């Protein structure tokens, strides 16, 4: 089965894990510190905080900013549910914003403006599929309204621009992301005081960690805030350090494969459209395509599966999930809903070749054409 995404793991990761096991220091030690330094450096940041997931990262950012009950946070609905959940964790209200268009499925500025209220405190931008939101446009908007910009950068690790939009950015190293630690995440924040609050809240609000106490020989610590256990362990950090060395090369392979996809789709099945037709910096996390309205998506999914090709959907809109329908009934985002109904995510990962890209497009063309013929016959 050709999977939508597949992690690349091998001998170097095994060796890194063995070293950690031999060292007998299993969590929050040298590997985590090295990983934080390397990840920050790659993004042109001074420092970062490694955590247990991107969800934890988003929660810590909102918590560190003091966002809470009575506050509203603008979020896209075309995202993973964790983006909105993090807002609920701090007792604030996520306000869903529609996308710009089917070709530009990022949060719409005009819609964000329309949904702003005096209670709006922050905006979480998602670089959907790895494609970066327009930084200057959002910064102007946030400055005029006095809003914090938070980046959910789960799809866009390794790009220099990421982490520079606003107060902080959250990253994911889940198994299907551009680089993985199995489970894991990181926070980049511009303000060192905010980053320090986040670092402390990651470990129960304690004033020092186990490793620091070992090195400083002071067994005492204090707890000065209600924190969480969102720590990263040494095994994950060690894997992350290896993965990080490959991230730029993997992102470049993803870019080349995406270019090939666009070229083949345009010639072999032009009824299928690929969003983000204009030039835009991207980490190419996934390859979303839009099926023509006459195509039955389930038929296409089934036909590709029969050919050994996995496909997925990004995303079922968050505002249409039962939890969110109950919390904010009556939310209607027509462009998000239309996009989500027609979207199909086809395989994209650095172990694919130009031949696999061609094979996927051939299978897609056959599946979509048979929908067209079925439509004509009916």
Ligand X SMILES: *Cc1c(COP(=O)(O)O)cnc(C)c1O
**Binding interface with ligand X (CB under 6 A):** 53-55, 79-80, 82-83, 126, 152, 154-155, 172, 174, 185
Task: Kindly name the residue from 14, 19, 121, 177 that is annotated as catalytic.
Answer: 177
Cβ neighbours for 265, distance < 8 A, ≥ 6 positions apart: 272, 274, 289, 361, 364
Question: How far is the C-alpha of 208 from the C-alpha of 220, rounded, in Å?
Answer: 8
74: nearest Cα among 106, 97, 45, 104: 97
User: 190 an active-site residue?
Assistant: no
Residue whose CB is less far from ligand X, 185 or 265: 185
> Minimum distance from CB of 184 to ligand X (Å)?
7
Element (H, E) at 120: strand 120-126
Element (H, E) at 151: strand 148-152
Q: Which residues of 5-34 are buried (b: 16+ CB within 10 A; e: fewer)?
A: bbbeeeeebeebbeebeeeebebbbebbeb
The vertex-349 CA angle with 187 and 283, nearest 5°, equals 45
Cβ neighbours for 4, distance < 8 A, ≥ 6 positions apart: 176, 286, 310, 311, 312, 345, 346, 347, 348, 349
> Minimum distance from CB of 82 to ligand X (Å)?
4
Q: Taking a C-beta distance cutoff of 8 angstroms, is the pair 153, 164 a contact?
A: no
Residue whose CB is less far from ligand X, 121 or 285: 285
Residue whose CB is less far from ligand X, 71 or 152: 152
> Minimum distance from CB of 169 to ligand X (Å)?
11
Question: How far is the C-alpha of 39 from the C-alpha of 44, rounded, in Å?
Answer: 9
> Minimum distance from CB of 286 to ligand X (Å)?
9
Residue whose CB is less far from ligand X, 20 or 283: 283
Residue whose CB is less far from ligand X, 92 or 364: 92
Residue whose CB is less far from ligand X, 155 or 264: 155
> Minimum distance from CB of 174 to ligand X (Å)?
4
Query: Using the 8-state DSSP alphabet, how is residue 134 labeled?
Result: -
HSE on the CB side for 208, CA within 13 Å? Answer: 13
> Minimum distance from CB of 154 to ligand X (Å)?
3
Kindly state the tokens that stand for 91. 């007792």
What residues are annotated to the active site?
177
């Amino acid at each position: 089965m050709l999977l939508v995404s597949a992690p690349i793991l091998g001998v170097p990761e095994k060796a890194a894990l063995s070293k950690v096991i031999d060292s007998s220091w299993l969590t929050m030690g040298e590997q985590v510190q090295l990983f934080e330094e390397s990840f920050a450096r790659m993004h042109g940041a001074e420092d970062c905080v490694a955590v247990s997931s991107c969800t934890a990262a988003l929660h810590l950012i909102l918590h560190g900013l003091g966002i809470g009950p009575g506050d509203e946070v603008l979020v896209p609905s075309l995202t993973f549910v964790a983006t909105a959940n993090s807002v609920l964790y701090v007792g604030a209200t996520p306000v869903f914003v529609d996308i710009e268009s089917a070709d530009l499925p990022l949060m719409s500025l005009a819609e964000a403006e329309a949904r702003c209220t005096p209670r709006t405190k922050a905006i979480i931008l998602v670089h959907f599929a790895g494609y970066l939101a327009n930084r200057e446009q959002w910064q102007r908007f946030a400055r005029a309204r006095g809003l914090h910009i938070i980046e959910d950068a789960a799809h866009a690790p390794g790009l220099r621009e990421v982490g520079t939009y606003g107060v902080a950015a959250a990253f994911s190293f889940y198994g299907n992301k551009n680089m993985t630690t199995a489970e894991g995440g990181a926070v980049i924040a511009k303000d060192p005081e905010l980053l320090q609050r986040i670092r402390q809240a990651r470990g129960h609000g304690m004033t020092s960690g186990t490793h620091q106490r070992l090195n400083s020989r002071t067994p005492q610590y204090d707890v000065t805030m209600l924190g969480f256990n969102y720590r990263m362990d040494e095994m994950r950090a060690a894997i992350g350090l290896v993965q990080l060395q490959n991230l730029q090369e993997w992102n470049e392979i993803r870019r080349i494969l995406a270019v090939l996809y666009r070229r083949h789709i345009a010639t072999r099945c032009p009824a299928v459209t690929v969003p983000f037709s204009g030039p835009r910096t991207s980490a190419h996390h996934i390859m979303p395509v839009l099926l023509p309205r006459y195509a039955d998506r389930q038929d296409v999914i089934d036909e590709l599966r029969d050919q050994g090709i996995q496909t997925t959907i990004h995303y079922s809109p968050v505002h249409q999930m039962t939890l969110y329908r109950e919390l904010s009934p009556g939310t209607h985002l027509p462009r998000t809903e239309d996009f989500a109904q027609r979207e199909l995510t086809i395989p994209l990962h650095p172990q694919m070749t130009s031949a696999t890209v061609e094979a996927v497009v051939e299978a897609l063309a056959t599946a979509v054409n048979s929908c067209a013929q079925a439509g004509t016959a009916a």
